[in-house]
Structure 1
Amino acid sequence: MKDKSRRWLSDSIRKHLIPAFLHRGFHLVPLNGHDAERGEIRSIFPFGRLRRETVGGYEMIEIQFDKHGRAAFRLNIGVAPTAGIEHAAGPVAQEDIWMHFLDRYGEVYHFPLLRRWFSLWCWERRTATESDFDALVKGVAELVPELERALSSGRNTRHVRWVG
């Protein structure tokens, strides 16, 4: 059931969440180079990244799946500066920046205080259907305006917790 649930979650994200970001001017940037070759990266970030250009740099969204295979995800948000960044491993160009490279980025949770990822509740998982995952992801897609406000203000919101 775990594999089926994760597939349903992935399909729901493709149908509902990614289009919500595309509608707001984000572009899907698939994994490439070394990242595309690493199985763990492909498993955790199967969609690559979403980004849109702004005056301050790329506003970015990462859809991060649970690394243990649960049908759960969170979003990471942040701004990659136009000039890139200086990282411990050396300079990183803007287009190669991952959220955890940034000094400050947002984590988007169902409940930020508890760091609870977006997933079905335990009693829902026993009899979960594809439509349950559609409903979950549609609810997350409704948060896109809140995420945009958090990106522009840099402040915590009901679902966004800034790190760094």
Structure 2
Amino acid sequence: MTIHVVDACWALPDGTRCQPSRACLEDVPAVVRLLADDPLGSAREGGDMGTYERAFQEIDADPHQFLTAVRNDAGDVVGTMQLTVIPGLSRGGARRLQIESVRVTSTLRRQELGERMFTWAETVALASGCSLLQLTTDTSRPDAHRFYERLGYRPSHVGFKKQL
């Protein structure tokens, strides 16, 4: 089963209108700029666009992946998130939607765009037959933790990573 994306269009408190769509290859530089626009990303993102373009092509070819480009009325990419449907045997064969790499442009932060993106992701998850949403977040992001908890997410697990 592939990801079933639901159309949406949002009006933010400042009057900006935004709409999520599937990112295309031309969006990769804008998405990378969003990923780099925070303390963690600024240290690890950038450089050779070719590596990002190859990664995009792999993501785009996978029916279980949806790289989101949230655009304003001018067509600028102002937000992004990567959604991945993960089939599993646990929880009675439950499918889950993994949410990764969530970013909102600094000029639209605190304008409810992040909330709209997460509400939309939940709609996508339900339409895709998922019964669980999950995400990871860096321990150094307490503001993000408060945001996720306000949206109903709970810190239920401890995650580990190993750099290769």
Give the TM-score normalised by the residue count of structure 2.
0.33
